[in-house]
């Protein structure tokens, strides 16, 4: 789904299986010499928020209108969001490598979670209450709060052994492996899975012709 009228507009992918991981994957080919950034403006951030369902259409329109009037604040909110994205990437990538995340990254994520919680309110929703953020068009960090909350939920979920980094070349997308056997290796079989198979095929042919 996209509401982007611009044909040049990058389409966001949602293959991570968890909101904060999809957010991490807004930087593509992360380990290459020239990673591909898809969050180039505050409106990209809100578009991602809408497509990921972190924002409603009404909230998105309010934030875009507010960000136009408060360009500097919106630029800062984008920087904050991207800083958090990179923090979350480093934490989960370290975990996929069976390494301990950096204490500074954990502290930075904790600060973001505290900020998200401090701005939330208890709201009635059908038969229960949920922690949510008020419909405030000036809350330019709303997407960042949702991502921080999502990272907190994943870190405390018990699913950490299912968080993986794509095995293919420069991709480095992070995803939650929900396959039954827990052996998913690529962010997407159709993209990176096929690239990996094509490379393996090429390597086999090369060794055969050299052999």
The percent of the chain in helix, strand and coil, each rounded to the nearest 5, is: 50, 10, 40
**For Zn ion, the closer CB: 15 or 116:** 15
DSSP per-residue letters across 179-195: STTS---SS-IIIIIHH
Residues 129-168 binding Zn ion (CB under 5 A) are 166, 168
What mask of x and - would describe binding to Zn ion in positions 77 to 116, judged by CB under 5 A? ----------------------------------------
Alpha carbon distance, N-terminus to C-terminus of the chain: 49
Angle 184-190-194 from CA coordinates, rounded to 5°: 85
Q: How far is CA 127 from CA 54, 77, 123, 124, 130, in A?
A: 21, 34, 11, 8, 10
Closer to Zn ion at the Cβ: 128 or 183? 183
Closer by beta carbon to Zn ion, 12 or else 42:
12
Contact (Cβ atoms closer than 8 angstroms) between residue 17 and residue 8: no
How does strand 128-132 pair with strand 121-125? antiparallel
Decide: 52 and 14 in contact? Cβ < 8 Å: yes
Of these, 18, 133, 173, 175, which contacts Zn ion (CB under 5 A)?
173
Query: Residue 171, interface with Zn ion (CB under 5 A)?
Result: yes
Helix H or strand E encompassing 104: helix 103-118
Write down the least CB distance from residue 192 to Zn ion, Å: 3
Site for Zn ion, residues 192 to 211, rule: CB under 5 A:
192
- Residue 90 or 172: the one with the smaller Cβ distance to Zn ion is 172
Query: Which lies closer to Zn ion via its Cβ, residue 12 or residue 173?
Result: 173
CB of 10 closer than 8 Å to CB of 45 = no
Please report whether residue 187 would count as binding Zn ion according to CB under 5 A.
yes
How many residues form the binding site for Zn ion (CB under 5 A)? 6
Asked if 163 and 89 touch (Cβ cutoff 8 Å), the reply is no
| Selected range binding Zn ion among 14-22, 72-80, 134-142, 188-196, rule: CB under 5 A | 188-196
**Shortest CB 167 distance to Zn ion, Å:** 8
Is residue 15 close enough to count as binding Zn ion by CB under 5 A? no
**CB of 88 or CB of 187, closer to Zn ion:** 187
Binding span for Zn ion by CB under 5 A among 72-80, 112-120, 183-191, 200-208: 183-191
Residue pair 33/21 in contact by the 8 Å Cβ criterion:
no
Which positions touch Zn ion (CB under 5 A)? 166, 168, 171, 173, 187, 192
């Amino acid at each position: 789904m996209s509401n982007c009228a611009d044909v040049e507009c990058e389409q966001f992918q949602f293959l991570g299986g968890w909101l904060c991981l999809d957010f991490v994957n807004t930087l593509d080919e992360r380990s290459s010499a020239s990673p591909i950034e898809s969050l180039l403006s505050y409106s990209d951030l809100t578009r991602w928020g809408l497509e990921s369902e972190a924002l409603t259409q009404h909230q998105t329109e309010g934030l875009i209108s507010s960000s136009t009037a408060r360009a500097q604040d919106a630029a800062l909110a984008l920087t904050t969001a991207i800083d958090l994205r990179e923090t979350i990437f480093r934490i989960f990538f370290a975990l996929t490598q069976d390494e301990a995340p950096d204490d500074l990254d954990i502290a930075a994520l904790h600060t973001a979670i505290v900020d998200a919680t401090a701005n939330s309110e208890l709201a009635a929703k059908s038969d229960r209450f949920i922690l949510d953020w008020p419909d405030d068009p000036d809350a330019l960090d709303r997407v960042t709060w949702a991502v921080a909350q999502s990272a907190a939920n994943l870190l405390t979920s018990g699913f950490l052994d299912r968080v993986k980094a794509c095995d293919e070349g420069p991709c480095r997308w992070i995803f939650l492996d929900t396959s039954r056997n827990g052996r998913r290796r690529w962010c997407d079989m159709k993209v990176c899975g096929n690239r990996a198979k094509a490379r393996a095929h090429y390597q086999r042919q090369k060794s055969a012709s050299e052999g």
